[in-house]
Structure 1
């Protein structure tokens, strides 16, 4: 009885922890916008320093005193990450990631040290659907005699499971 009660408590803690961050999803090769905003962020008043990090270790994007700074950016994000300028004007520090990779999965942290903003977001990246070609023999209607031809089908992997 005691062991079951402890297991339930641990499970509840894990569920609670997993739901702390907003979760966003994308497909491998696609793009996603991760939002970060706070009422304390007013970009027009002063030139803020903004950092985006992936899993606490990878430098995704920096803005230092209002200027984009990519010198220390992790090479995996080169030409794939940007903070949307039109959103910055509204006090939103939205990060756009393009050409999503499976390695992009994880926790993204946006922090603005000048105003004490620390915002975490979870990113889930699904594998790109695999295209599959199948040849189906064409048969005569009624007699089921093979006509010596085949019909080429292009199916996405997600749909294959539904119809086969």
Structure 2
């Protein structure tokens, strides 16, 4: 019986995947959660969690439910309801903060699918750095022009 227990556990847990996503402070990332190849119930439930306990986004009976969403995520998380019928329960996290870094879990209990994502949030993106560079260059040119006149 002991030798069969790990096998039973593996059979119960249909699919578990681990992904690493990298983003930059201020940017937007997509955290994927797909149930491809699995037939979904008519009314699906999906739980997105941060560090196992923080509520990021919930779908109950095929409807977004943000009542329990943790404060740090309010107004920054979107999903794609038109994609739910295709098994795509990915979320978009906007205006990244350093504190957003860590483990995210998407769990679809009706089909026993769990996706775990480790989000790495770096300081600033190259895009922001370039923007700041040109912004500073324009300020410097404006200041020099005013000094001449």
Match of 2:100 among 97, 104, 107: 104
Match of 1:87 among 83, 86, 89: 83
Question: What is the alpha-carbon distance in structure 2 between the residues aligned to residue 27 and residue 63 of structure 1?
Answer: 27
1:31 aligns with 2:19: no
The higher-RCO structure (CA 8 Å, 6+ apart) is 2
1:13-162 matched pairs, under 5 angstroms:
21-39=18-36, 41-43=38-40, 45-128=41-124, 131=132, 133=136
Secondary structure at 1:24's aligned position in 2?
A: strand
Greater helix proportion: 2
TM-score (norm 1): 0.63
Shift of residue 37 of structure 1?
1.1
Secondary structure at 2:59's aligned position in 1?
A: strand
Deviations 1:71-108 (A, max 9, x none): 11001111111221233232111111001111110111
Question: What is the alpha-carbon distance in structure 1 between the residues aligned to residue 38 and residue 64 of structure 2?
Answer: 17
Question: What is the alpha-carbon distance in structure 2 between the residues aligned to residue 107 and residue 89 of structure 1?
Answer: 26
Cα distance, 1:97–1:41 mapped onto 2, change above 3 Å: farther
State the superposition RMSD in angstroms. Answer: 2.3
Shift of residue 150 of structure 1?
6.5
Instruction: Return the index of the structure with the highest Cα Rg.
Output: 1
Note the residue ranges of structure 1 that are not aligned, 5 or more in a row: 1-19, 135-148, 152-164
- Asked whether the 8 Å contact 1:53–1:60 carries over to 2, the reply is yes
How many residue pairs are counted as aligned between the two chains? Answer: 117
TM-score (norm 2): 0.69
Greater strand proportion: 1
Secondary structure at 2:110's aligned position in 1?
A: coil
- Asked whether the 8 Å contact 1:80–1:98 carries over to 2, the reply is yes
Note the residue ranges of structure 2 that are not aligned, 5 or more in a row: 1-16, 138-142
Question: What is the alpha-carbon distance in structure 2 between the residues aligned to residue 87 and residue 124 of structure 1?
Answer: 26
